[in-house]
Amino acid sequence: MTTESLIVYPSDFPIKIFGLNSPEFKSAVLAVVQRHAQDFDGEQIECRQSQADKYQSITCTVRATSRAQLDALYQELFDHPLVKMVL
């Protein structure tokens, strides 16, 4: 198995995060993303509600500098109780 990355760093990398539509969800996601990508501008978050308004998706495009940075960001998002799925 190869461990070569197909991503050339640094690179703009979109991450889509899904969770229940709640007032805390957006701020929780923003806090996690900014811990791993300090230069991320919170104004650049793209939010969409599900048709039934039960779920929310948030897209954050971060400036990825390494695979370790992305791995840590994905792991913290996966572990967060408000997050249901990360793509």
For 43, 65, 75, the CA distances from 19, given in Å and listed in that order, are 19, 26, 15
pLDDT value at 5 more than 80: no
Q: Is residue 3 in a domain?
A: no
Q: pTM of the full predicted structure?
A: 0.89
Q: Is residue 40 in a domain?
A: yes
Closest CA to 59 of 71, 77, 80: 77
CATH of the domain at 40: 3.30.70.260
With pLDDT > 70 as the criterion, what percentage of the chain qualifies? 97
With pLDDT > 90 as the criterion, what percentage of the chain qualifies? 87
pLDDT band at 29 (very low <50, low <70, confident <90, very high): very high
Q: Is residue 28 in a domain?
A: yes
What domain range is 29 assigned to?
11-86
